[in-house]
Amino acid sequence: METVKISAADVKKLREATGAGMMDCKKALVEAGGDFDKAIDILRKKGQKIAAKRADRESTEGVAVTRINEANTEGVAIVLACETDFVGKNESFVALGGQFADIALNCADKEAFLAADFGGMTVADKLVEQTGVIGEKLEITAFEKIEAAYVGSYTHIGKIAALVGLSNAVDKADVLSKDVAMQVASMGATTLSYKDFDAAYVAAETEARIAVIEKDNIELGRLGKTLKNVPQFISMSQLSDEVLAKAQEAAKAELAAEGKPEKIWDRILPGKMERFISDNTTLDMEQCLLDQAFIKDEKKNVAEYVKTYGDVSVSGFKRVTLG
């Protein structure tokens, strides 16, 4: 039987279409008798076999990518995951992540994205194909989309990506949205404000945190070290007017016991109340974006920073990360 001659041009064409290595492309073309479409199918089946073998592998490396539309009213963030950092940093892999993000921008959700067209095959099929090409399990482990009057983004070294939506496209909205997105990426907020918390969640979290601190204090006491402050509360949602009034009275009693003249209390009380609120809103500062100290100026929180841009508010945010 005569061996089919495979030209370098055919191999190059198949490689450009699939991303597979030169030798894999040549072998597929030989096996397909020079039939280009059949060769693609052979490579795809190879990918399916490798994907099946690596199905139980963990894909915790990869690249996080964002895309914003031209009007800055929609944004998407995805994670294209692989198994090793070596592959995750590869230029062609990062470029593939960008191609996926371009498609994702026009999809309503992850399901629609995986079913979307990628050069004549679905995104899901492309992932399988590239698993065969690269030899590692590839998958989309995160897909987040946001729509707003203005959408901005920030990506940290391809490992964490954040999207932020603003209520108005104010002057320098690009700077504001990027700064807030950087905050989201860096500090990992889970919600906008303490007002979003469920009361039962706050109560359970308060009990758990106090238990941890009290346990730590037993060991610190045994070692003769300074004990940690045990908070009464952990969220502004718990600090009712009554609670704040009692805290202020306690602060006044403390000043009186210290012998501080009453005429100077007005200068001292604001600082004491600020400290009380800070000590008793740790949950908010960890999880609530608007209540966190702004990373570029810790003298103000994020809500105060946003106000410096005028009539605008943060309408929503999303964050994706590897692992």
State residue 1's pLDDT score. 38
Closest alpha carbon to 298 in 185, 183, 196: 183
Q: What residues contact residue 235 under an 8 Å CB cut-off, 6+ apart?
A: 194, 197, 202, 206, 280, 281, 283, 284
pTM confidence score: 0.80
DSSP structure class, residue 74: E
Could you tell me the residue ranges of all domains in the chain? 8-53, 61-187, 195-309
Stretches where the chain sits below pLDDT 70 are 1-3, 19, 47-48, 50-52
Angle CA 14–17–22, to nearest 5: 40
CB 73 within 8 A of CB 148: yes
Look at residue 2 in the predicted model and tell me its pLDDT. 46
Q: How far apart are CA 229 and CA 43, in angstroms?
A: 62
Q: Considering the domain 61-187, what is its CATH architecture? A: 2-Layer Sandwich (3.30)
pLDDT at 6: 84
Whole-number pLDDT of residue 48: 67
Q: Do the two domains 8-53 and 61-187 of this chain adopt the same fold? A: no
Looking at residue 30, its pLDDT comes to: 86
Taking alpha carbons only, the member of 171, 283, 196, 168 closest to residue 232 is 283
DSSP string, 142-158: EEEEEE-SEEEEEEETT
Domain 8-53 has CATH 3.40.50.2300: no
